Structure 1
Amino acid sequence: MESQEIELITQKLALQNAYKYGKAPQAGAVMGKLLGTHPELKAQAKELMPIISKVLSDVGKMSPEDVKSKLQSIAPELIEELHVKREARKGLPELDISNVKPGQKVTLRIAPNPNGPPSLGNARGIIVNYEYARMYDGVFIMRFDDTDPSIKRPMLEAYQWYVDQAKWLGCPPDKVVIASDRIPLYYEYAEKLIDMGKAYVCFCDHDSFKALKDKGEPCPHRNASPEENMKNWKAMLNGDFEEKVVLRIKTDIRHKDPAMRDWVAFRIVREPHPRTDDKYLVWPMLDFESAMEDHFQGVTHIIRGKDLMKTADKQRYVYEYLGWEYPHVNHWGRVRLLGFGKFSTSVMKKGIEAGEYTGWDDPHLPTVAALKRRGIEPEAIKNVMVNMGVTETDIEFSMDTLYAENRKIVDPRANRYFFVKDPVPLKVNGAPQTTAKAPLHPLHHERGFREICVCDDPTILVTLEDKGQTKVGDILRLKDLFNVRVMSLEPFEAEYIGNDLAVLKQGAKIIHWAPTDGFTVRVLGPEGEFHGVAEQGIHNELNNVVQFERFAFCRIDSINGVIVAYYTHP
């Protein structure tokens, strides 16, 4: 690439940086962006500095107005890019990227254990980490921490569920890493630490080690030589020891926090792994595996729960021993999900196995799959999670917040239909043969109209609730049809009294209805199951979210025989 072309690209990036932050750009930031977008220039890094220095000197003398005007004239798309990013990150504070070196990309990761599908809580991690990666033109990694084949046993289907549902949320990972594929790499670094005298094989049972640890005293095996520890390590790998034998990382045995003292890095697990079967007997603990992968994958920023604050302190011992730089860490508080009760993956799994739930997408469950099936839009989930931000304060999250966001999206799209819950027949004496004509959407008549024939049967269906609130003599307006006067409740009968809308000024109540030849519908929702009848046009709405008037938004899930709909929200 010619120097003039390099100078022009550098000028654009420097102007964008100055426009974004309102101050003179830093050489490191511009160099990093330049090499990140044009990695072929890495070989010319030394030659780039004079060019960058000249450009920065020129840009540094410009006023904010001049910066904007110049950038608008030579690269307006970079202004638009910033506007898009600002909109995407509404609610997300800026990251401290001072640890990002020239040529290095801001890299974040989500690290689920694939022992079930992603929940709404996992969605927060996926969305926030993805949005930060996008904000800084960085990398978003999905890493499966699946090295616990016993307590949190992975599900083979869950790996793909996470990838697919991240894509559905609009957050496709740039890279997918599976820890159980990389066990030999962890062994390699365990042996490096053993050789350095920073790790040792411990034969103490749990209670014995805890008693010593709590007193700040070393266990009898702590001072074994690297040669002896390596011998014992190999014996662990060969399956020669019982499961109480572990590999520990040496820390400060008198650390003020007992949890920091000589933590376990590897343990023996004889239960086969769903992916690797019995290929490995010695498995890394999460603190060790996660520490390794954050370094190997070049993770620059970690966002984790504040309940894991000690994790970084543990892992920094390993990073210090190996001469590595630890990523920047942000912590966020717990989110208490109101309206669902307390659910964990294990609780949900037991409920499914016991037949309490139909599957992971049962509407009673707070999984991404369940929300998708109910008709919650990924954009709504993303907006709510981004606006929630990143704060160490614990948050109570009401599903009503998500419903309100989703309603903004689906309300303009959803066609309207009559649905009568708990239907009861109302015979209308003297009713003419007619066809009701109602818009598919009250604000979008261009979509067309539903035509509901009341032709051969003077009987229609209304809700049991409406009947219960009706008295003899009441005048009712059957929406988009005609007016009736109630003559008796048992049997439930009325008489036709015309179609004059003036009855509304006289206090007539508007109720919705359904024809007797409508479709039987089951509505499945988190609050239970509802049964009713809907007009026939619903048959054309498979997989769409519709609004059952005066009831709720629902997604039509199947149309074979009885129509099954999933309750979305009010």
Structure 2
Amino acid sequence: MNDELRERVEREAEKHALLNAVKHESDAAVGAVMGPLMGDNPDFREHSDAVPGVVGGVVSRVNDLDYEEKRARLEDLAPEELAEIEAEEEEDEHDLPDLPNADEYDEIRMRCAPNPNGPWHVGHARMPAVIGTYRERYDGWFCVRFDDTDPETKRPDLEAYDAILDDLDYLGFEPDATYKASDRLETYYDHARDLIEMGGAYTCSCSGEAFSDLKNSGEPCPHRDKDVETVTEEFEAMIAGEYSSGEMVLRVKTDIEHKNPALRDWVAFRMIDTPHPREEASEYRCWPMLDFQSGVDDHLIGITHIIRGIDLQDSAKRQQFVYDYFDWDYPEVIHWGHVQLDDYDVKMSTSTISELIDEGQLDGWDDPRAPTLGSLRRRGIRGEAIVEAMTGLGTSTTDVDLAMSSIYANNRDLIDEETDRRFFVRDGNQVPLAGDPPAEASPPLHPNHEDRGVREIPVGDAVMLEVGDIPDADENGEQRIWLKGFGCFRFDDGVLRYTADDIDVVREGGVDVVHWVPADGSVPVRMRTMDGDVTGYAEPGVGDLAADDMVQFERVGFARIDRHGDGEDAETVAYYAHP
């Protein structure tokens, strides 16, 4: 690292250290400074071995200042950033706005209502993250209600029920109650019978096309004025399964001339010939539409606040007709926009991901290329990091963009200080050693925690280096490099010759610090990433790590150890998390 670059690193590190210290009113931490520093200055990354040492010295000097001195210095270096911190201090401590009319309810009660047609993708995490956070804020209640009353178009996946509850646990939330709508058919039937008695529903045998023509022209269906007895009889025949799919529906009687045709006499129940995959519900053929089922359940369960997508605004309007018939009070409703996710080639859609798995293009729901919670979990990303990113989006009615880098930054803050370092060389070349180097290297387990000790790495007669770290042939004999945690070497006719120089040669500049592994005894590793598998070798101690252990492969990034293979040619599989 030359003098000019060192000055830049020190200047930027001081700014970020002051930002970290002032924002949290505490000492700055090297780990918390490194993420935003490298994010703002991507050209520093090629010097990522030397940067932490410079940052450590800067952080130490910043932490010697008292709080007012830190604030004053930050005002000199970055007045706009300080103004942002001060503005945040004046705002509410929550990213989420207060729930509307929350003080009018004895208890805030919310629901997460997934369709169990597959495990959750990343976008699904927004709902439990937000309602779980609201529950904590208001000391409230929330349930998971599986809206599984469409056994055909959105056919439930029997494994998804437990998978979704596992995903919820991964995010850090436990529901106060769990329901399956397919267990509650008789309840919906009873309310439909009551609605029929009120004159609020009628059976209709029009074809979909015929009713659409009538609806769009504001003309009543010819079945609209059936007497209650006839409607009751035909509805009971629906329940008994005496009609086939498409033969008969039950409609809620609304306003046939309503300005929004989508609200005119909407379908509450329809016939479905395909049996439900749950054995307990497989005999039913008369199924409620989501607007009817969900509307009834929200009232019976006592839901006070509903959060749903802006595209579902008509659902509240349809359900209001049912609520008016029963003289119920409708819950408070928050509509929000969709989440757009970057960094993935695969569309964030349950059906799309399922198709790719069936076609063999993805290995499963936890393939690192899949935008699913299972994938993030297997990569070693903590649920807390996802929740923080999701709540940070707020509840805007406009579509919002979620950068995966924000999840990665949150996760880095959570794991950086506790995650030990290791060497991993990708597709490396073997280089012999000469000059009587030490028999063993001893790099630290963590640069910020000397008390953890070192990794003792037997070296042998050769090392493996990444191709980009080996100088061109015409530089041999002149170029020196520092093998991290080992020592200084000079390239000499294809051999690394030990020089016994001390670390000052790195500090003076011109000597690159590189990671390496011994040629003998290293662990074959297959690292699974969003861009495909990366193979290489890790230092010997990686073979002793347990599954689920996190490591930071120096100059590569964080990864989760997934499993170790058996046998002579076995490899360790790791899942890449993020830089």
TM-score range, shorter chain: 0.7 to 0.9
Letter in 1 for 2:120: P
In the alignment, which residue of structure 2 is the partner of 1:243? 245
In the alignment, which residue of structure 2 is the partner of 1:547? 552
TM-score normalised by L of structure 1: 0.81
Aligned match for 1:370, one of 366, 375, 380 = 375
Letter in 1 for 2:578: H
Give yes or no for the alignment of 1:410 onto 2:415: yes
Aligned match for 1:419, one of 396, 418, 424 = 424
Judged with a 3 Å threshold, the aligned counterparts in structure 2 of structure 1 residues 206 and 493 are, in CA distance, closer, same or farther, namely same
1:558 CA displacement: 0.5
Aligned match for 2:258, one of 252, 255, 259 = 255
Judged with a 3 Å threshold, the aligned counterparts in structure 2 of structure 1 residues 98 and 388 are, in CA distance, closer, same or farther, namely closer
In the alignment, which residue of structure 1 is the partner of 2:236? 234
1:386 CA displacement: 1.6
Which deviations, in whole Å up to 9, do the C-alpha atoms of 1:358-387 show, x marking residues without a partner? Answer: 111111112111111101112211211122
In the alignment, which residue of structure 2 is the partner of 1:65? none
Q: Which runs of 5+ in 1 are unaligned?
A: 1-85
Letter in 2 for 1:531: T
Question: Map of 1:223-302 to 2, 5 A cutoff?
Answer: 223-244=225-246, 245-275=248-278, 276=280, 278-302=282-306
In the alignment, which residue of structure 1 is the partner of 2:336? 332
Equivalent pairs counted in the alignment come to: 478
Residues 521 and 562, structure 1, Cα contact 8 Å, conserved in 2:
yes
Deviates more, 1:231-240 or 1:213-222: 231-240
In the alignment, which residue of structure 1 is the partner of 2:155? 153
Give yes or no for the alignment of 1:518 onto 2:522: yes
Residues 444 and 485, structure 2, Cα contact 8 Å, conserved in 1:
no
- What SS does the aligned partner of 1:568 have? strand
Letter in 2 for 1:406: N
Distance 1:481 1:301 in 2: 60
Judged with a 3 Å threshold, the aligned counterparts in structure 2 of structure 1 residues 506 and 312 are, in CA distance, closer, same or farther, namely closer
Q: Determine which structure has greater relative contact order: mean sequence separation of CA pairs < 8 Å that are 6+ residues apart, divided by chain length.
A: 2
Which deviations, in whole Å up to 9, do the C-alpha atoms of 1:501-543 show, x marking residues without a partner? Answer: 2332251111110012110000001121110100111123321
Letter in 1 for 2:552: Q
Judged with a 3 Å threshold, the aligned counterparts in structure 2 of structure 1 residues 406 and 469 are, in CA distance, closer, same or farther, namely farther
1:468 CA displacement: 6.4
Distance 2:451 2:102 in 1: 54
Residues 89 and 135, structure 1, Cα contact 8 Å, conserved in 2:
no
Judged with a 3 Å threshold, the aligned counterparts in structure 2 of structure 1 residues 89 and 214 are, in CA distance, closer, same or farther, namely farther
Residues 149 and 287, structure 2, Cα contact 8 Å, conserved in 1:
yes
In the alignment, which residue of structure 2 is the partner of 1:135? 137
In the alignment, which residue of structure 2 is the partner of 1:388? 393
Distance 2:217 2:472 in 1: 73
Which deviations, in whole Å up to 9, do the C-alpha atoms of 1:140-184 show, x marking residues without a partner? Answer: 111000001011111111111122221221111001011000001
Deviates more, 1:150-159 or 1:298-307: 150-159
TM-score normalised by L of structure 2: 0.80
1:500 CA displacement: 2.5
Letter in 2 for 1:557: D
Distance 1:206 1:497 in 2: 84
Distance 1:160 1:240 in 2: 34
Residues 182 and 281, structure 2, Cα contact 8 Å, conserved in 1:
no
Letter in 2 for 1:333: G
1:306 CA displacement: 0.7
Residues 89 and 132, structure 1, Cα contact 8 Å, conserved in 2:
no
In the alignment, which residue of structure 1 is the partner of 2:72? none
In the alignment, which residue of structure 2 is the partner of 1:180? 182
Distance 2:350 2:402 in 1: 19
1:445 CA displacement: 1.1
- What SS does the aligned partner of 2:555 have? coil
Letter in 1 for 2:522: G
Structure 1 vs Structure 2 CA RMSD = 1.8
Give yes or no for the alignment of 1:210 onto 2:219: no
Question: Map of 1:491-530 to 2, 5 A cutoff?
Answer: 492-504=494-506, 505-516=508-519, 517-530=521-534
- What SS does the aligned partner of 2:344 have? coil
In the alignment, which residue of structure 2 is the partner of 1:22? none
In the alignment, which residue of structure 1 is the partner of 2:98? 94
4+ aligned runs moved over 6 Å, structure 1: 86-89
Distance 2:472 2:342 in 1: 32
